[in-house]
């Protein structure tokens, strides 16, 4: 979801909370508390959704190339090389 769509949806949700509070006869303080709670819940939900989308995304070709370059320039020995070196010492 893009940010502008999120902001418009959040404004509509807050407007619904305001109308609901007004029609329910809530005080100004109660209405403000409900609006703040609604906004916080929406923000946390948006953060969680974006985090999950990023965490579940497949690596891009650029990510795969970067990982391959890191492996080539790595100074660490592979697992097979470590075992071979240990065996030759004994």
Counted domains in the chain: 1
Helices (H), 1-90: 3-23, 28-56, 61-72, 79-89
Question: Can you give the pTM of this predicted structure?
Answer: 0.59
Name the token pair of 86: 């240990």
- Which range marks the domain in which residue 44 is found? 3-89
Structure tokens at 72: 């080539």
Q: What is the pLDDT along the chain (90 residues), one digit of tens a residue?
A: 678 888 898 899 999 999 999 999 999 999 999 999 999 999 999 899 889 988 888 878 887 888 888 888 766 655 555 555 555 555
């Amino acid at each position: 979801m893009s940010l502008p769509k999120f902001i418009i949806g959040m404004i509509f949700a807050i407007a619904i909370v305001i109308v609901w509070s007004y029609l329910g006869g809530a005080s100004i303080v109660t209405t403000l508390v409900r609006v703040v709670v609604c906004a916080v819940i929406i923000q946390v939900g948006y953060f969680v959704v974006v985090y999950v989308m990023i965490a579940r995304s497949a690596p891009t070709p650029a990510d795969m190339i970067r990982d391959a370059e890191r492996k080539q320039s790595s100074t660490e020995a592979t697992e097979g090389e470590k075992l071979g070196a240990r065996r030759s010492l004994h």
